[in-house]
Structure 1
């Protein structure tokens, strides 16, 4: 037995023994990847407009001749059954084990943003919907289910979660994010990481860092933010997932900040990530991003130059195929432009990860790893129940002034179900779901799993109501021919349920999703006209928005009897929405992004200093949101009282702040409330947000019941980056802090001032990141 296969030896010993045996060509191979797309059996195998940067340099035998670091998307490239995918993965792993000198297996990675991106696998709600639940335990449970499914068929690494903090709602990938607040993003993302990695699968943070802050909300655009915004808004979720979640991998962003591409940013990939935060995993390139150093950033003259820049910065693995880390990097080593130690550094990281995954163990076989011979169901009932629960808890009731909800057959026996999302379950799915991501290249191919539409679910949920359906219009396009029929249906009904929003896709093949950036925040197509014409009938309207980003609802929402927001609730979205609309489930979701009032006055995010808020008379543009961050009402009501702050509100700058209040269900139904704690730093050395989320808790209460909710927050959580030049110093400053408890950032019920006492403290990567 080779020493690197001996599990009784120390990990470092095993890796050193293997490194000593490897040739340079074998080392280089471990930094590369291979995507077996040539056999897709379809004329259009392109996954992106930038396909040439993603292509392999050689065929399979040459690409795998010395081994390989990663196998790219063995299940998520075409509609394979689990058994077919297993067979293909085992074939490739056998080529590596039996056909190369050292026989080192590869890490197989897949997308898993809304679940394992494989044919027939469960499609969970989008990350924006996870964030709307504010439920870390539920998201961790989902992460474990996703990790379990991937591990059952031999996948070792998942390319999620996305920890980009939303800065502009027009960006197409808002649906993939966890919203606009760095603290909520960090907690929910870390919970997902813990869940996935509990099953022995490596999670991957992306996109490090600043992708969602791209200029003009354009995909692949430069980032124009300062060092302080980067430190205080963009980086904290990544730091939390590294330090609290022990994540195993990080993926770079395509963007450049102040002219420096992240893929070549040594201060980011090594200085911040490893030296400051102590990250010990692998850094993988977003697909093609090393080659983009030459073609899109123009900081490299050749692919060899690009390889040097990336490897020096701390980029360990090139995905999805080996272009720059093969012969071009070898050329740099030959010309002594790259130190051999840098090659060894990256290879050691890859081998340590393979060792941790069991790929170097003596008893490893690809057949056992992929579960060959073991029955597998990638969409079992337990998954669907979990997907439905997340979907139910993510639904946000924005308004119910007309008390039209929950639906009641006695009051409204005839309902007109109208809109492009009313009978299309595809509107429930995100752009990285297998049906929307891959199957559009295979027209007519079955989805591989049950996807009930809202129309089907409502008919089953409310058999005492007669539903009349009219599409009215499509999600996009200017065809108005269906509007008259929708108007007639609404006019003859007791209530109109109008379902509008998005259809997710990739690179322009949808209204939301990667590359589907929006010019403004008006509902796509003629959907606004549809709502307007239905409202004009005088029939009460319940407006249901199913979307991947917030859309401007001012002028519409105020005239509706109720307004509901769902952020692409996944395969069980239909039943989940039906249960909420019927009242079987009381809505409890809260907005992880604000809902703007008008399409052109993007409110930015709620993390605004006073200068970023509406100033009447100074500008004619009112950026006040229609519904604020954290907003969401229920079929019941909640009262807040008896605020208590420990230690008479005096806390040292290195101490804990403890605050509590009583929360009571003051309505007639059981319900779930998400209690939110914000703080404001009224006087600081730099302009700071007037509100910032610092803690939250989820409470379930029966009618009349109450509970005391207590938050324990360290003073470190009020820290910020100071200095006019953004010098990176993070401080906790003595002085007054205002604490605000409420049901949303716009519905503060209780507040109190506390005093942070003692000296100004400089804090580093060992600071407290979360509340208790």
Structure 2
């Protein structure tokens, strides 16, 4: 007889509740647990505390009689052939099912921040490059392809995207974030979530919340932010991705906010997330985040105390391995039932409770790097390259030149790969292992791109010098960018400032190419470089993308998701700062960036007609329609990125000078034009006032139609009328823009 929890015609929460009622305390606890098979206990760690904690975590054999909640990184722990990995995972699932009386499988999760983090899988550009595309539709397509490949080998959950808003680019995980603007992070991150979820993969938003606002940009450091910065800058991207993207999981951050660690933050994980935002998915801990309540934050006395704190706050699953959530230490029954019900409901939604569920059959050939994935990686890389400067038309380069190519990163695959790519995350610990996918260096790509050019190491006597600088990604000090690789300042690492000084003295025109995980201060050479190109770890197809921009085969269309500073010190940059956070009296420090947020050039020219606005007076619950025409007046096709910024002249609290509220890519052939139609809802003018309420206030506003946060083409005055209006989770969070 089919029991209610096995009845696929019943709602998931009903089935999960029936199964929960049949479980023992140990079986419920096991559903909140995870196992990381193959995690190194004494070698090179890939997670904070891995060496310490892995040996003290519950083993699979101990949990088998009760079941298991999650399997951690079956593909991204050690290198494994894709077909073999799928077969191993399937056999492991059979073992787990055979071990517990309900025949429940585990939910398997993986990293997917730059594609599926598995050997031989396509390596996509890092999230900072997604932000540079300003192309949500492309990011959705990329994410769906990534999710489909993961689902095909038996993975259920992806630990991405990162929704942290960059507050100080010295933070090592800047490369993992999408940008420094909450609207850009929210829209691009939501696009990624939609693609992953459309493929049947549970998207996991991280790191909730305040991780990127840590003191001095140090990893895990306390976040010194007030409630308004939290409400108006840090939280909106998460809210958008949950509400509009449908993300089904959230991961708390390692940091504390005003002394309260995120993994023990009841207001954050329950009051806000569950009660106000009505989130019904799962909250999974960051790796060893529950243990860190005891051993780093020191707010818990022992493992059991840490488990109770986290469970009370709203953490449902302990990752990556069960140490604190243990059947040996009984948890409060009411809280245990609450978390286990959420886990079982999600498993039910994934089909893991269905009587006919079977693991993905392994053994058949598996291609994790097929042509369409490589084409997508190439397109994302191409759209993400930013042309920052091009004095006197130094670019594009013509073939047949004598080109001086300097800088070790011109010859390294590392210059293309972010911290969470398999080669830099895991492969680096296996030096004899082939990369698994082709990753041309920039030097190799340039020789293919410009076959008649002569490349020399010594730029003396060259027609042009390409000076290639930037980063090597890594974990916890094994790179200049990446998790735990924070910077004291934004000076180029590895002595590359001296390399640029030497290049500038060679006499040839110098083009600076930056391949990095964060922006670096370039003001020292701004007046001497003839052109500057920026790419943020553009992935396996990045060499060809950058070379294509340099040659002119690829039209540059990327825009800066983070500002490029002028000097290494005056951080953070002033984007989103109120007037007193910008340059001027009474400070001698000028934080004005060299290239502002949203900046990027093209090889063609555009003109923007004066916009027309219907009903410039609108109620505080209304909307305004804006229309403008963009024309390509140059001699080649190109893409302009139309950006809308909101300026609030007078607020009840100090407000940013301007903040992004809409954008659209406009691709035009030479001589062509297009109309851009934008619908601006008054809800986008909402902000958190002195009393903690988010309100839309009546009064004057200004929409800036711009090519960057500082390059404004036109202004559109608006007036909000009527009464002040409080808005909440139901508010409209995006400006709809159509290109005709």
Q: Could you say whether these structures have the same fold, taking a TM-score greater than 0.5 normalized by the shorter chain as the test?
A: yes
1: CA distance between counterparts of 2:489 and 2:596? 19
8 Å contact kept, 2:262–2:268: yes
1:463 and 2:462 equivalent?
no
8 Å contact kept, 2:90–2:361: no
- Corresponding residue number in structure 2 for 1:712: 679
**Unpaired runs of at least 5, structure 1:** 471-488
2: CA distance between counterparts of 1:393 and 1:56? 46
2: CA distance between counterparts of 1:88 and 1:65? 20
8 Å contact kept, 1:597–1:625: yes
8 Å contact kept, 1:167–1:605: no
- 1:604, CA displacement in angstroms? 2.6
2: CA distance between counterparts of 1:681 and 1:282? 38
Tell me the secondary structure at the aligned position of residue 674 of structure 2: strand
Tell me the secondary structure at the aligned position of residue 703 of structure 2: strand
Tell me the secondary structure at the aligned position of residue 746 of structure 1: coil
1:192 and 2:211 equivalent?
no
The Cα offsets for residues 714-733 of structure 1, whole Å up to 9 and x where unpaired, read as: 1001100001xxx4310000
Change in Cα spacing, 1:329 to 1:226, as seen in structure 2 (3 Å) is: farther
- 1:56, CA displacement in angstroms? 4.7
- 1:49, CA displacement in angstroms? 5.0
1: CA distance between counterparts of 2:141 and 2:733? 22
- Corresponding residue number in structure 1 for 2:584: 615
Give the 5 Å matches for 1:114-513: 114-327=114-327, 329-330=329-330, 333=331, 338=332, 340-366=333-359, 370-409=360-399, 413-468=401-456, 470=457, 489-513=458-482
2: CA distance between counterparts of 1:13 and 1:686? 47
Change in Cα spacing, 1:437 to 1:605, as seen in structure 2 (3 Å) is: farther
- Corresponding residue number in structure 1 for 2:49: 50
- Larger mean CA deviation between 121-130 and 79-88 belongs to 79-88
Pick the aligned partner of 2:614 from 646, 653, 663: 646
The Cα offsets for residues 172-220 of structure 1, whole Å up to 9 and x where unpaired, read as: 0000000100000000000000000101110000000000000110001
- 1:579, CA displacement in angstroms? 1.2
- Corresponding residue number in structure 1 for 2:646: 679
Change in Cα spacing, 1:323 to 1:414, as seen in structure 2 (3 Å) is: same
1:26 and 2:18 equivalent?
no
The Cα offsets for residues 631-652 of structure 1, whole Å up to 9 and x where unpaired, read as: 00000111111211111x1010
- 1:462, CA displacement in angstroms? 1.1
The Cα offsets for residues 635-676 of structure 1, whole Å up to 9 and x where unpaired, read as: 0111111211111x1010000122221111121110001100
- Larger mean CA deviation between 356-365 and 135-144 belongs to 356-365
The Cα offsets for residues 743-766 of structure 1, whole Å up to 9 and x where unpaired, read as: 111110000211000000001111
Tell me the secondary structure at the aligned position of residue 728 of structure 1: coil
Tell me the secondary structure at the aligned position of residue 559 of structure 1: coil
- 1:168, CA displacement in angstroms? 0.4
2: CA distance between counterparts of 1:65 and 1:546? 50
Give the 5 Å matches for 1:53-92: 53-92=53-92
The Cα offsets for residues 293-326 of structure 1, whole Å up to 9 and x where unpaired, read as: 1111111111111111111111000000001111
1:545 and 2:538 equivalent?
no
The Cα offsets for residues 255-286 of structure 1, whole Å up to 9 and x where unpaired, read as: 00000011011110011111111111000000
Tell me the secondary structure at the aligned position of residue 609 of structure 2: strand
- Corresponding residue number in structure 2 for 1:577: 546
8 Å contact kept, 1:190–1:244: yes
2: CA distance between counterparts of 1:430 and 1:515? 13
1:742 and 2:720 equivalent?
no
**Unpaired runs of at least 5, structure 2:** none
The Cα offsets for residues 385-424 of structure 1, whole Å up to 9 and x where unpaired, read as: 10011000000000001311111125xx210111122111
2: CA distance between counterparts of 1:92 and 1:764? 45
1: CA distance between counterparts of 2:438 and 2:372? 14
- 1:14, CA displacement in angstroms? 1.5
- 1:43, CA displacement in angstroms? 6.8
Change in Cα spacing, 1:54 to 1:675, as seen in structure 2 (3 Å) is: farther
1: CA distance between counterparts of 2:3 and 2:426? 41
1: CA distance between counterparts of 2:167 and 2:426? 28
- 1:237, CA displacement in angstroms? 0.1
1: CA distance between counterparts of 2:574 and 2:256? 22
8 Å contact kept, 1:55–1:321: no
The Cα offsets for residues 465-494 of structure 1, whole Å up to 9 and x where unpaired, read as: 1112x3xxxxxxxxxxxxxxxxxx101211
2: CA distance between counterparts of 1:466 and 1:57? 57
- Corresponding residue number in structure 2 for 1:604: 573
1: CA distance between counterparts of 2:289 and 2:414? 30
1: CA distance between counterparts of 2:253 and 2:451? 49
2: CA distance between counterparts of 1:103 and 1:373? 23
- 1:5, CA displacement in angstroms? 2.2
2: CA distance between counterparts of 1:236 and 1:112? 22
The Cα offsets for residues 331-372 of structure 1, whole Å up to 9 and x where unpaired, read as: xx4xxxx3x221111111001110111111111111xxx242
1:729 and 2:693 equivalent?
yes
- Corresponding residue number in structure 1 for 2:564: 595
- 1:45, CA displacement in angstroms? 4.9
1:562 and 2:531 equivalent?
yes
- 1:60, CA displacement in angstroms? 2.6
The Cα offsets for residues 693-725 of structure 1, whole Å up to 9 and x where unpaired, read as: 0000111011121111111011001100001xx
1:702 and 2:669 equivalent?
yes
- Corresponding residue number in structure 2 for 1:5: 6
- 1:626, CA displacement in angstroms? 0.3
1:755 and 2:733 equivalent?
no
- Larger mean CA deviation between 581-590 and 82-91 belongs to 82-91
Q: How many residues align?
A: 734
- Corresponding residue number in structure 2 for 1:529: 498
The Cα offsets for residues 497-528 of structure 1, whole Å up to 9 and x where unpaired, read as: 11100000000000000000000000002101
- Corresponding residue number in structure 2 for 1:514: 483
Tell me the secondary structure at the aligned position of residue 389 of structure 1: helix
8 Å contact kept, 1:643–1:659: yes
1: CA distance between counterparts of 2:681 and 2:511? 43
2: CA distance between counterparts of 1:237 and 1:612? 23
8 Å contact kept, 1:208–1:251: yes
1: CA distance between counterparts of 2:503 and 2:449? 24
1: CA distance between counterparts of 2:201 and 2:599? 35
1: CA distance between counterparts of 2:399 and 2:439? 25
- 1:84, CA displacement in angstroms? 2.0
Change in Cα spacing, 1:348 to 1:43, as seen in structure 2 (3 Å) is: closer
